[in-house]
Chains A and B, each alone.
Chain A
Amino acid sequence: MQSDNPLVLAATGIDKSFPGAKALDQVDFSLRRGEVHALLGENGAGKSTLVKCLTGAYRRNAGRIVLDGVEVDPRDTLEAQNLGIGTVYQEVNLLPNLTVAENLFLGRQPRRFGLVDTREMNRRARVLLAQYDLDIDVAAGLSGYSVAVQQVVAIARAVDLSGKVLILDEPTASLDAHEVAMLFRIVRRLRDRGLGIVFITHFLEQVYEIADRITVLRNGRLVGTQEAAGLSRRDLIAMMLGRELADAADDAHGRAAAGAGEVRFRFRNYGRSGRIRPFDLDVRAGEVVGVAGLLGSGRTETAEILFGAERADSGTAEAGGRRLDLSSPRAAIREKFGFCPEDRKVDGIVGDLSVRENIALALQARRGWARPLGRAEQDRLADHYIKALDIRTTDREKPIRLLSGGNQQKVILARWLATNPDFLILDEPTRGIDVGAHAEIIRLIESLCENGMSLIVISSELEELVAYSSRVIVLRDRAHVAELSGERVTTAAIVEAIAATERAQA
């Protein structure tokens, strides 16, 4: 173990707030020389924010960063790079329109007589890449190479420029097993050279394969840092999903099996290759089906395929013996489906439109452009839902971007409720909103289902999921691997189900 190695990077008490949200709260993080340190957490846990504070992409509100015994305060990524902190992102941050060699030496090209010495630059690029066992044509455009090669080029550039700390932000997300193995060989070699490596991923088996220590963040707080060797998968998952297994016993229940009703929607062998493996799913009227799983397990993919945002390429969907057309979101809306996506800023709200317009959007889409919704009707709808959902806004004509996260979420809910759906899919409905709004959204979910609506709710907040779901589907590796119902809907059982499949995979 490298436990006696000196620290290369130590961050203490890092605070970062964004308007309306605290992204990091007193987070400590330390990195030793010659270790691979995995940084884990669900979406919104604060991993990227922490990395961005370390690399100067964000300015932290409080806290100290000590690099090699010297306190540093990088103002931007360039300064961090010069100090010795290099970063490689999931989306390769190189220029595809330049050659490999130009990407490696941009801004520091070797020159002769004032002109770039292309031959010397290519030679040095080949030498540099040879250290990574990469023998490619460095004079060819970067865009011609696979993501894995681009990733290695990015690492080579980052290490060559900085050389103390290397931060890998989900580098394996789009690589296949063979490419991951190649990447890990390189990471191990760099570790043995004494670099401190921060590794962010959501593939747990990769964490155990390569990490020496693990730090888990949740909701912007540090959950803990532990040696990878002494941490079981079960405990790790519990740390990530926010559940101490010790007190898991008392949270039993799940909603009473209200799902005694008729099966209203029936999906058989439903799936899309490369996105989510075919699954069977029955949803009854007045039932909430929870979907649990780690990040990247196929939760959002499940939602998208049910709503037609991704077209299924196998299986059937039926309601009351009739086949449903879910080939596009428009078709799904016609079948009385609704979908509140995970990232409402990107996929949900139209920021500059008013609350009223945002509420009327989906209903208008279903009616088609030829039958516009009258202004009086829109006003009535908006007023009704502002009151019914307690949306806090000064008036219905306020641009939605000025509302708080929880209220934006309610507007999106209102948008779908206005279409009077039979089937509503909510992807992380409580993400990034304050605690009070949490409770309101949960109450809302419960009352919707009492009114006979069928809901699918995706959430990484297990306690919440357990509170309102009558059944929970557990996902892992883009497949539905378990279904818990009735008595078995407990956070402990969900963690167990995720971990069990983890073990089966390992």
Chain B
Amino acid sequence: MNPRYFPLAATVAIFLLAYLVCYLQYPNMLSTRVIGNLLTDNAFLGIAAVGMTFVILSGGIDLSVGAVIAFTGVFLAVLLQSTAIHPLAAFGLALVITTAFGALMGAIIHHLQMPPFIVTLAGMFLARGMAFVLSIDSIPIRHPFYATLKGLYYKLPGGGRITLIGGLMLAVFAAGMLIAHRTRFGANVYALGGDIATAQLMGVPVGRTTVAIYALSGFLAGLAGIVFSLYTSAGYSLATVGVELDAIAAVVIGGTLLTGGSGFVAGTLVGLLIQGLIQTYITFDGSLSSWWTKILIGLLLFAFILLQKGLIHISDRRRRAAATVPAAS
């Protein structure tokens, strides 16, 4: 097998193994109901994680995601509470703002040659601060259109439901895979993650691509914010603290190299489902503290970082072996 599929294969194997363990203990977990809930409960995180996958594939990081989700939620709640605007128009407005916000961060990263970590950290504080400026209270959303949207679902055999937001997440993943693997933009993202200087020499429009990557992440964070507001029917500026870190965890557990250039959008979906599965298991168990989710995810992350280090080590050694043979002969 091609070594670059190892991390993805490891992720899928861990997911199947984990599901098997869960199933043996709680046979009920293998039902469309649980799967449907898994998708619905993690929809906003999954959508944000798709954006994060692109950012990490390009060798960057986006720490503003959680704050942008919270901002979007508060923005929608305030807008729907104080004006008569239709939610769809509000959604569009929110997406325009968050996309522009991401594009701005990308432009700063490229033009000022600043590390993404610092720029998006600033973005995180800014977005969170803007959410507080709009409102410090949790504002409920009681618009009838919300109820309509929440009532939309596709019924699976066995009683499970693919809700609108769960389905939206799957659609975003499908679109993400298409963009990553079947467009020139996608190839450019991988090229940037491989080596920016080389990519530039090979004619990749580095600036445009960087801006587009962070704009995409901003757009998807905005979309995740809309989904989160549908999910909770409220906007609260203290919500989704640390979600960017969960998204990064999903990406890394999904087999994407944190240094960029290697990984798959599909892997992120599996990484997300592993996180969701651990949570579901703890819910089923009932006696375990929910902090076990964090502990297990922490351990998994360690395991994957070790796996990545190991793979890099192996491929380095292989390359060095190939390089020293001629020198010795």
Residues of A within 8 A of B (CB): 77-78, 81, 93-98, 102-103, 106-107, 109, 111, 114-116, 118, 140-141, 143-144, 146-147, 157, 174-177, 179, 273-274
Contact = CB atoms under 8 A, between A and B. Distances in A.
Contacts of B325: 176
B88 interface: no
A117 to B, nearest CB: 9
Given A77-B201, A106-B202, A116-B187, A146 B4 contact: no
B315 A116 contact: no
A368 B203 CA distance: 49
User: Which 3 pairs between the two chains have the least Cβ-Cβ distance?
Assistant: A176-B326, A95-B194, A97-B261
B204 A141 contact: no
B190 interface: yes
Contacts of A177: 326, 329
Nearest to B57: A97
B102 to A, nearest CB: 23
B113 interface: no
B204 A107 contact: yes
Contact of B187 (A81, A94, A102, A147): A102
B183 interface: yes
Contacts of B204: 106-107
B2 interface: yes
Contacts of A144: 2-3
Contacts of B178: 115
Given A118-B182, A175-B326, 9 more contacts: A78-B201, A93-B202, A95-B190, A95-B194, A97-B4, A98-B187, A106-B202, A107-B203, A273-B328
Interface stretch (B212-220, B240-248, B300-308, B316-324): B316-324
A60 to B, nearest CB: 19
Contacts of A94: 198, 202
A98 B190 contact: yes
Contacts of A115: 178, 182-183
Contacts of B329: 176-177
Contacts of B2: 140-141, 144
Contacts of B184: 107, 109, 111, 116
A143 B187 contact: no
Contacts of B4: 97, 141
A177 B325 CA distance: 12
Contact of B199 (A77, A81, A95): A95
A78 B203 contact: yes
Nearest to B318: A144
Contacts of A118: 182
Interface in B170-184: 178, 182-184
B38 interface: no
Contacts of B3: 141, 144
Given A77-B201, A106-B203, A147 B194 contact: no
21 contacts: A81-B203, A93-B202, A95-B190, A95-B199, A97-B262, A98-B194, A106-B203, A107-B188, A107-B202, A109-B187, A116-B183, A116-B184, A116-B186, A141-B2, A143-B319, A174-B323, A174-B326, A176-B325, A176-B326, A176-B329, A274-B324
B35 to A, nearest CB: 30
A128 to B, nearest CB: 16
Interface string B251-284: 0000000000110000000000000000000000
Given A107-B184, A116-B184, A143 B191 contact: no
Contacts of B183: 114-116
A111 B201 CA distance: 22
B195 interface: yes
B315 A143 contact: yes
A175 B327 CA distance: 8
Contact of B193 (A78, A97, A174): A97
A101 to B, nearest CB: 10
Contact of A106 (B182, B187, B261, B319): B187
Contacts of A143: 315, 319
Contacts of B201: 77-78, 93
